[in-house]
Amino acid sequence: AFEAPEFQRALDDLDADTIIFTGVETDVCVLASALTAVDRGYRTILVSDAIASSSPPGHRSALDDIYPRFDQQVELIDTNALLRAWAP
């Protein structure tokens, strides 16, 4: 995502400080974008039941092994927790 200058401009225009990730390729595209977000100082949230991979072992490894190593930088939540956080 960050390779596209328009993406960073959109974040800047929104004065964003948090990025919530959903999408595919948990262990490739989502991982790369999430770690770049961390490097750039964004609060980084991954919605664990709204990401997937074409490789089930890669998906599980990312959720069970990779992301927990960044527990101070990356928040893993599920959709219900996200919706509860946004509830009035």
Determine, yes or no, domain membership for 10. Answer: yes
How confident is the model at residue 73, as a pLDDT?
A: 94
- pLDDT of 1 above 90: no
Determine, yes or no, domain membership for 83. Answer: no
For 56-70, letters b (16+ CB in 10 Å) and e give eebbeebbeebbeeb
How many domains does the chain fold into? 1
How confident is the model at residue 39, as a pLDDT?
A: 96
Determine, yes or no, domain membership for 85. Answer: no
Determine, yes or no, domain membership for 86. Answer: no
What is the per-residue pLDDT across 15-69, written as a single tens digit (0 to 9) for each? 999 999 999 998 999 999 999 999 999 999 999 999 999 999 999 999 998 898 9
How confident is the model at residue 65, as a pLDDT?
A: 87
Can you give the CATH number for the domain in which 33 is found?
Answer: 3.40.50.850
Q: Which domain holds residue 63?
A: 5-77
- List CB contacts of 85: < 8 A, sequence separation 6 or more: 77
Alpha helices in 1-77 (DSSP H): 5-14, 29-39, 56-61
Arithmetic mean of pLDDT, 67-74: 91
